[in-house]
Amino acid sequence: MNSYIKLKKKIQSKNIKIGVIGLGYVGLPLSLTISERGYKVYGFDKDINKINSLYKFKSYIKHVSSLRIKKLIKKKLFIPIGQFNFLKSIDIIILCVPTPLTKNKKPDLTYIKNSVDLVFKYFKPGKKIILESTTYPGTCKDLIIDKLKKQKLTEGIDYYLSYSPEREDPGNKKFQTIDIPKVIGASNNKSKILGELFYGSVFKKIIPVKNLETAEATKIYENIFRAINIALVNELKFGLKKLNIDIWDVIKASSTKPFGFMPFYPGPGLGGHCIPIDPIYLSWKCKKVGYDCKFISLAEKINSSVPDKIINEILNFKKSKKKFKILLIGLAYKKNIDDYRESPSLYILNKLIRKKVKVDFHDNFIKNITENRHYPKLTNMKSRKLDYKNLKKYNLVVLLTDHDYINYNLLKKYSKKIIDTRGRLNGKNVIKM
């Protein structure tokens, strides 16, 4: 029996071993979703603390429940594992590794390259590979197909590749992984059939597209769409303020239009692992082929200028005061989550400290700043309690992330002055920014 038929039969019978490389915000929920559909999923991560934590049935991601992990590990449907030689026996390998930027703001493809090296190191013919990481169109060809070709392995014969972008929205209770339509692309018929057969049995709806590059570009377009619309509303916020118009009132009224409008909201700047980063993957790629994506660079310029505008407002307010202490509320890059990667709050906190401003932060989801690539000096800073006694101590409170658990009445009542970057508050002591 040839490897294609064998793999197809294995998927149909669910008698197949799935491996997910990278158990982070994307890989962990995806592993659990696939195992909940009756597949045996081996979760690989190089971070041994994550593997240990999973075996203690302890989730390290706020919106992924520990009980869900416990159930699936006990049923032996989810098997976290740190030994990569086990990849040899895996039939379908899904790559969910990070795609950050280098210091020079170029795509950092090391994680994808390293995981492809692992796949190759433990390669056996007849495997299916699926890349989920967000990346520029052409990555599958450049980093997987061409690379494995050099080792005399041909896609569609020795292995079967698909690209299927993760569209996870952490903290969004309305959509579980399984409900989000799954775009999937491949470069030949066998890879296409196997990919669609497998993901068709996991997700409620799959969206096949014509090739790998279309699937890669789809995800990146979705994130560019957000980055540009957020830049637009961030720019209008400052323009309308000069005209004494409240952007939040305008968005609310515009949102009543039943067609042709979608609300986006201003904030303290862009954060997270996707929106500030992914657009640069495409502009970098387009530059290589001689095209300048002007919209992307303009949006980046506008969005990245917002945190400094907030810092200037804080410093302006501080000017006249001898004793000055401020509290930043919300470290996560968006509400109700515990992820502070690329969060503008970290940038603001770090810059204020450098400017010798006395500053504390509060975030119930981030009690302690542990890891962060850009601001090592912030490591070990601890979240302050949000109560009336504490609030009274600060000359200024700055609302950066509007988690739902925050008691906004308390905040308004006991803060001397508040800068609100999220349009949550009104009143005499509130400066909207």
Interface residues with ligand NAD (CB under 6 A)?
A: 21-27, 44-47, 50, 96-99, 111, 114-115, 133-134, 166, 168, 170, 273-274
* Smaller CB separation from ligand NAD, 140 or 397: 140
Cβ count within 10 A of residue 382: 11
Distance CA 153, CA 343 (A): 41
Q: How far is the CB of 324 from ligand NAD (least distance, A)?
A: 36
Q: What is the DSSP letter of 127?
A: E
Q: How far is the CB of 363 from ligand NAD (least distance, A)?
A: 18
The residue among 259, 254, 228, 227 whose CA lies nearest residue 240 is: 254
* Smaller CB separation from ligand NAD, 166 or 402: 166
- What pairs with residue 430 in β-bridges? 418
293 is catalytic: no
Evaluate whether 196 touches 184 at the Cβ level (below 8 Å): yes
Q: How far is the CB of 359 from ligand NAD (least distance, A)?
A: 27
Evaluate whether 345 touches 313 at the Cβ level (below 8 Å): no
* Smaller CB separation from ligand NAD, 19 or 423: 19
138 burial (CB, 10 Å; 0-12 / 13-18 / 19+) is middle
* Smaller CB separation from ligand NAD, 213 or 420: 213
* Smaller CB separation from ligand NAD, 180 or 232: 180
Distance CA 116, CA 121 (A): 9
Distance CA 282, CA 291 (A): 10
Q: How far is the CB of 239 from ligand NAD (least distance, A)?
A: 30
Among 140, 274, 286, 293, the active-site one is 274
**Tokens 């400290």, residue located:** 353
Q: Give the residue closest to ligand NAD by C-beta.
A: 24
Distance CA 296, CA 364 (A): 34
Token readout for 339 is 């992820």
Handedness of CA 209, 214, 220, 221 (dihedral sign): negative
Q: Which residues are catalytic?
A: 274
